[in-house]
A and B are shown apart, each in its own frame.
Chain A
Amino acid sequence: MNINEIAAAKSNFVARAVDEELVLVPLRNNVADMTEIFNLNEVGHFIWNEIQEGATLESLTEKIVSEYEVESAIAREDLEEFLSDLSNFILND
């Protein structure tokens, strides 16, 4: 997974915060697959906001650890899994 690619692809989505969550809707040029909508929970929402060009696994892990009460190793493992899912959704779009 490439964080810079995810950062670049963010503009192809409309993101709307609903309470603590985030709804991601892909912009499309066809009517197919209109039902692909991605919901992020509070932590996913936080990470989405922090994903910018130049961000790394290390820098994102640090931000998660400073925001939430979680051990660095667990945060990193969960982050990798999350970015993999996110990458599958937005880069295969």
Chain B
Amino acid sequence: MKQTFVLTVADYFVKISSKENVPVFFEEGYSNFLQLEEVENYDATVVCHAGLPDKSAYEGEVIFDAVLDKQRLWQVVQTKKERAFIVFNPNKIEEIQQVAFLNDSSTEWKVYSHVLKQNDESFISPLSYPLGALILYYLTLNSNAFMIHASGVWDGETGRIFSGFSGVGKSTMAKIWEEEGAHIVNDDRLIVREVNGEYFMYNTPMPYADLNKQAQVSKFYFPFHAKKNSAEKLSGAQALSQLMAFCFQHNYDKKYTEHLITQLERITHHASTYRLGVVPTPSIIDFIRSVEFKG
């Protein structure tokens, strides 16, 4: 059974294909990011296989290890031939969910997925979290783009990104803006990409269904809870390192780190960045606009 899908995220096109006799399943969040119509040029390809490969195929040196809260999420292994990504089931520690192989130019993926069953129907889910997000992250490394933990809002005139760790008010800020009529691009993860000298923010597939969105962006804020609204404009190394702290980054390879720094250096020349003390009430909106007006 030949199956082909086109994943479109952040104006990237990824061809996903399978010749396996089991259907390819995508999580709900992908519903508005998939199309059946093929395009002429792809930024990356994903060839899907049913079943995990023999362990010998992904043996090698572990060059990157994603362990969070004592749970191993995935590993990058350098095998004799290529890089292998061993992705564990987030709900079942140590059960391998997918094994993916990536070529040197980070454009061709071979994804071997654990075969799943529901109501006696077998299927594979090659982009199950976190591999789908990893594939998108590696797309950003081949273009003027980066992926950041952030919420993004567009008020019809200006695109603003609020970035920081969980709990600093990213989602709260997005909701306050939404209540004032602004559109939320996403409140957790964004791809920021330079297109013809302009910067755009894009949402990416999440565990829930959402439209495929984008908006221009020119302001970055790093909020923290405060007793009084306040703003401190950042520039140069300060702006760059503050942004970098919240970007996705696989710093096992110098060239990826260099790439990210270059992207952030470019955007700090184009966009304004502020550290923002926030009282989470609608007054923050007028405060932000007045800060921007004053420059």
Contacts and interface: CB of A to CB of B under 8 A. Distances in A.
Interface string A6-30: 0000000010101101110111111
Interface residues of A, number: 19
Interface string B247-263: 00111111001100100
A29 B63 contact: yes
A31 interface: yes
Contacts of A16: 240, 258, 261, 265
Given A14-B257, A39-B241, A27 B236 contact: no
B63 to A, nearest CB: 6
B236 A35 contact: no
B237 A30 contact: no
Interface stretch (B30-38, B41-49, B64-72): B64-72
A51 B244 CA distance: 25
Interface string B73-116: 00000000000000000000000000000000000000000000
Contacts of A31: 64-68, 250
Contacts of A39: 237-238, 241
Nearest to B235: A19
A32 interface: yes
B187 to A, nearest CB: 20
B268 to A, nearest CB: 8
A91 interface: no
Given A14-B254, A27-B254, A34 B249 contact: yes
A39 B239 CA distance: 11
Given A14-B257, A14-B258, A19-B236, A28 B241 contact: no
Interface of A: 14, 16, 18-19, 21-23, 25-32, 34-35, 37, 39
